[in-house]
Amino acid sequence: MKKQLEQLSAYQPGLSPRALKEAYGIEEELYKLASNENLYGPSPKAKEAITNHLDELYYYPETGSPLLREAISQHLGVDASRILFGAGLDEVILMISRAVLTPGDKIVTSEATFGQYYHNAIVESAHVVQVPLKNGGFDLEGILNEVDDDTSLVWLCNPNNPTGTYFNHDELKGFLERVPSHVPVLIDEAYFEFVTADDYPDTLKLQETFDNAFLLRTFSKAYGLAGLRVGYVVATNEAIEKWNIIRPPFNVTRLSEYAAVAALEDQDYLKEITAKNAKERAKFYQIPQSKHFLPSQTNFVFVQTNKSKELYEALLKVGCITRPFPTGVRITVGFPEQNNKMIDVLQHFEF
Ligand SMILES: *Cc1c(COP(=O)(O)O)cnc(C)c1O
């Protein structure tokens, strides 16, 4: 066994709704608002695409997801050879880490960010520098100070999970101008579609200038397809060619590919979902207690408190399963009914 596995543990899911009901004696229906899923689900067209292709289950998928690759290529206006798909971004992060990192390599990221950057780096025996948050968000200056010529990867998460905060176009541009041009900068935009800030980075545009800026997106969040596992990276074709060697040949399933194409085509549905999210998210920031919340550009709100267990339990009592962290609780924005109940709890909570 790899020695470093002793430092890690398998992903720990929260208790299931059934187990939670039992443990806390809850009668009402529980809503899972712990993993930033889109409760509205995917476009009906994605479901239709799946039923239309049920007779093809016995075939392997077409390797490399060519239909989806073409659709994303058109949608983003980038060459199809610059896109690589994974069974979720989780697998993309794994493939990149596996392809790039050798023992002793250094990666730089933030603390309090998506855990898979760290996890996969440790599996590859790399050394991880985690720069503390600044004002609840990524400290790009602090990260620059840690990056040197020998850094193998930099992971940025924008907006960041679990804090919901973002950095803007000029900040990212300034970062890319100063980071050594041979150091790959991976920019995870899993919540891109939920962003409403005008100054959010146009990362595709920055990629025209910076060959080392790589962009990651997913169908799991706003597109509502977390259960099907589709994510992708847009990089240079040289990088994609190498990373593609790591990719398991049939990683994205046949039905996932069809569903993702259909979901992508239904931009009206996506707009409807993200508009609802923006409206519901704003409600959280209209209460005085929002001084405890980090500003969010996502479909979740991070509530800062050192009583995260108490807050988690209070939210559970009104039927909402959230995600506690040592410094607060991350709440996925749900349906209006759940949001209203959670806002009521927050208004009465002693922080
Ligand atoms: C949810 C999430 C992912 C993983 O997405 P999948 O495509 O479902 O694997 C990656 N990065 C961030 C920041 C996320 O929040």
Instruction: Please write the tens of the pLDDT for every residue from 216-244.
Output: 999 999 999 999 999 999 999 999 999 99
CATH number at residue 175: 3.40.640.10
Give CA 350 to chain center in angstroms.
Answer: 30
> Quick one: 23 and 50 in the same domain?
no
Q: Which token pair is 209?
A: 């200038």
State the Rg of the chain over Cα: 20
- What tens digit of pLDDT does each residue of 140-180 get? 999 999 999 999 999 999 999 999 999 999 999 999 999 99
pLDDT band for 278, please (50, 70, 90 cuts): very high
- What's the pLDDT at 310? 97
The rounded Å distance from CA 190 to ligand 1 centre is: 6
Rounded distance between C-alpha atoms, residue 55 and residue 17, angstroms: 33
Residue 12 has a pLDDT of 83
Residues comprising the chain, all counted: 351
Mean pLDDT of the chain: 97
Same domain assignment for residues 319 and 172: no
Look at ligand 1, atom 5, and give the residue with the nearest C-alpha: 89
19 and 110 belong to one structural domain: no
pLDDT at residue 25 tops 80: yes
Q: How many Cα atoms occupy the beta-carbon half-sphere of 223 within 13 Å?
A: 27
Query: Distance between CA 261 and CA 259 in Å, rounded?
Result: 5
pTM: 0.97
Report how far ligand 1's centroid is from the alpha carbon of 115 (Å): 10
Ligand 1 pocket test: pick from 35, 114, 300 the residue with the most ligand atoms within 8 Å of its Cβ.
114
- Per cent of the chain over pLDDT 90 is 94
* CATH number of the domain to which 302 belongs: 3.90.1150.10
The tokens describing 50, both together, are 């799946």
pLDDT at 17: 86
Q: Which of 68, 119, 161, 193 to mutate to test the pocket of ligand 1 (most atoms within 8 A of CB)?
A: 161
Confidence of residue 71 (pLDDT cuts 50, 70, 90): very high
The average pLDDT across 292-311 equals 98
Same domain assignment for residues 154 and 253: yes
Q: Are residues 195 and 76 in the same domain?
A: yes
Residue-range definition of the domain harbouring residue 204: 44-265
Whether residue 36 contacts residue 299, with contact meaning beta carbons closer than 8 Å, is answered with yes
Q: Are residues 261 and 279 in the same domain?
A: no
Domain boundary (232, 265, 298) is at 265
Per the structure, the count of domains in the chain is 2
Last residue of a domain, one of 265, 288, 313: 265
Same domain, 255 and 275: no
Name the helix (H) or strand (E) containing 130: strand 127-131
Q: Name the domain boundary from 240, 265, 290.
A: 265
